[in-house]
C-alpha cells in the first residue's frame, strides 16, 4: 500500500523492507483520505487505476477491511472468485509506504473531484461509487484501454479482452524513482481515428500540423499530442473551446476563469465529429490560439496513433510574446545589424530556422511532454 501523508497520518501498518514487492497480480495500491462526512479512503490500483472507496472509520481496522471491499468490487467487474480469493489472501499482509508516482496521484486528484460531486449528489453507497468512477477515461490509460474498468478486463481477459502480460504496466508520464524515461506513448487502436489539422492563428505564413488521434482520447490527452506535434513544452495552462463551452484544467487561483468542464474526462468523439472546428489556446499570457479542424474520421485498422503526419514551419519559442512578439523576434533575427540581434540570438540559444519542420521527433517529444506535466 502506498499512502498519501493524509492517509498515513490516520492509519498505520508496518513499513516495507528494502526487498519487499507486492505479491498480488494487480501490484501496489495507492490510497488517500478524503474528509467527507463520513470520511472515506480512496484506493487506486497502480496497474489498472481501478478506484475502490472504503469508509475510513474505524481507522485502526482500515487495512483489515480494505481487502474484502476491494475483492467485492473486483467481483462486480467480473473477476473470477478464484482470482479474487488469491488477491484478497495476499492483501492481508499489508506494508505501508509513501506514494512514489506523480501520474497516479494526478489521476487520484481527478477521481477525488468527480467522486465528491457524485457523493454530494446522493451516490453514498461506496461500492456503487467505485463502479461509477471506474468508467471514467484517464490520461495514463490513453495507450491501452482508456478507462480502469476496461483495463481491468484486459488484465484478466474478461469478456472479449485479451489478457495482458503479468508484469506491471508502466504508464506514459509515470514518474520513476530510478530516473529511467517512460516509453514513448503509443495509442491502442480503439475506435475511429480523427485526422486533425491544427493551425496557429495570427501568424503569416501559417504554422500548422496534421495529427492522427483516436476519437476515444480525452481532451487532456489531445493537449499532449498537440504540444508534441508543434514542439511546445507543456509549461502553461491551456483550454479547448467548442461552441462557446470551455474545457481544460482547473486553475486553483482562478486568474483566468475556471473552464466550464474538465478536459481530463471528456473524450474527443463526445464533442467533435468529421467537419467540426474548435479552438485550442495555450499559454494565456502569450495567447497562442490554434484553430482545429476535424478533416476526417477513419477506421483504426492499420494506422499508428497518435502520429504527426504533416505540417509547415517551426514552432515559435515559448515565452516570446505571442504572435506579435514572435514576428518582432523574426525581424530582429533576420537583421544582423539590429541592436538587439545578438541578445535575441543568445536568448534562443541555438540556430533557428523558422521554415524548418521535421515530424521525426514526434514520439520523443510526446514522451517528454507526458513526463513534464504543467503543475498549477
Strand 51-55 to 40-45 pairing = antiparallel
Q: 283 falls in which pLDDT band (50, 70, 90)?
A: confident
- At 168 the pLDDT is 37
Lowest mean pLDDT among 136-140, 276-280, 346-350: 136-140
Q: 188 falls in which pLDDT band (50, 70, 90)?
A: very low
Q: How confident is the prediction for the chain on average, in pLDDT?
A: 85
Are the C-beta atoms of residues 282 and 288 closer than 8 Å to each other? yes
- At 259 the pLDDT is 56
pLDDT score of 250 more than 60: no
pLDDT more than 90, % of the chain: 56
Are the C-beta atoms of residues 234 and 288 closer than 8 Å to each other? no
Span 31-66, pLDDT tens digits: 999 999 999 999 999 999 999 999 999 999 999 999
Span 303-314, pLDDT tens digits: 889 999 999 999
Span 233-242, pLDDT tens digits: 888 889 999 9
Mean pLDDT of 166-193: 45
- At 274 the pLDDT is 95
How far is residue 316 from each of residues 144, 149, 312, 329, measured CA to CA in Å?
Answer: 32, 40, 12, 10
Q: What share of the chain is helix, strand, coil (3-state, %, to 5)?
A: 35, 20, 50
pTM: 0.54
pLDDT score of 319 more than 50: yes
Give the DSSP H/E element, type plus range, for residue 238: strand 238-242
CA neighbor of 239 nearest in space, from 281, 205, 209, 210? 281
Question: How many other β-carbons are positioned within 10 Å of the β-carbon of residue 355?
Answer: 8
Are the C-beta atoms of residues 158 and 83 closer than 8 Å to each other? no
- At 171 the pLDDT is 41
Amino acid at each position: 500500500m502506498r499512502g498519501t501523508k493524509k492517509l498515513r497520518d490516520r492509519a498505520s501498518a508496518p513499513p516495507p523492507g528494502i526487498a519487499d514487492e507486492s505479491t498480488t497480480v494487480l501490484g501496489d495500491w495507492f490510497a488517500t483520505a478524503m474528509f467527507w462526512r463520513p470520511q472515506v479512503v480512496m484506493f487506486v490500483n497502480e496497474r489498472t487505476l481501478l478506484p475502490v472507496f472504503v469508509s475510513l472509520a474505524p481507522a485502526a481496522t482500515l487495512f483489515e477491511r480494505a481487502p474484502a471491499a476491494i475483492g467485492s468490487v473486483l467481483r462486480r467487474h467480473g473477476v473470477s472468485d478464484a482470482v479474487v480469493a488469491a488477491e484478497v489472501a495476499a492483501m492481508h499482509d499489508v506494508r505501508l509506504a509513501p506514494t512514489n508516482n506523480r501520474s497516479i496521484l494526478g489521476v487520484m486528484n481527478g477521481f477525488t473531484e468527480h467522486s465528491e460531486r457524485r457523493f454530494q449528489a446522493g451516490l453514498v453507497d461506496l461500492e456503487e461509487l467505485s463502479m461509477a468512477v471506474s468508467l471514467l477515461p484517464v490520461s495514463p490509460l490513453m495507450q491501452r484501454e482508456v478507462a480502469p474498468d476496461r483495463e481491468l478486463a484486459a488484465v484478466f481477459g474478461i469478456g472479449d479482452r485479451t489478457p495482458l502480460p503479468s508484469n506491471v504496466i508502466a504508464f506514459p508520464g509515470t514518474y520513476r524513482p530510478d530516473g529511467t524515461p517512460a516509453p514513448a506513448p503509443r495509442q491502442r487502436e480503439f475506435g475511429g481515428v480523427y485526422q486533425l489539422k491544427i493551425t496557429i492563428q495570427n501568424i503569416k505564413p501559417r504554422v500548422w500540423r496534421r495529427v492522427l488521434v483516436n476519437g476515444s482520447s480525452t481532451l487532456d490527452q489531445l493537449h499532449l499530442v498537440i504540444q508534441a506535434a508543434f514542439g511546445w513544452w507543456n509549461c502553461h495552462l491551456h483550454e479547448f473551446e467548442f461552441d462557446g463551452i470551455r474545457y481544460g484544467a482547473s486553475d486553483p487561483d482562478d486568474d483566468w476563469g475556471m473552464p466550464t468542464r474538465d478536459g481530463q474526462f471528456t473524450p474527443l468523439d463526445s464533442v467533435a465529429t468529421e467537419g467540426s472546428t474548435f479552438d485550442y489556446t495555450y499559454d494565456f499570457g502569450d495567447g497562442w490560439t490554434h484553430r482545429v479542424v476535424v478533416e476526417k474520421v477513419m477506421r483504426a485498422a492499420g494506422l499508428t496513433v497518435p502520429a504527426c503526419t504533416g505540417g509547415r514551419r517551426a514552432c515559435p519559442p515559448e515565452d516570446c510574446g505571442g504572435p506579435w512578439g514572435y514576428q518582432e523576434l523574426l525581424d530582429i533575427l533576420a537583421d544582423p545589424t539590429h541592436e538587439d540581434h545578438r541578445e535575441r540570438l543568445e536568448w534562443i540559444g541555438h540556430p533557428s530556422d523558422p521554415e524548418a519542420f521535421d515530424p521525426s521527433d514526434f514520439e520523443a517529444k510526446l514522451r517528454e511532454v507526458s513526463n513534464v506535466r504543467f503543475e498549477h
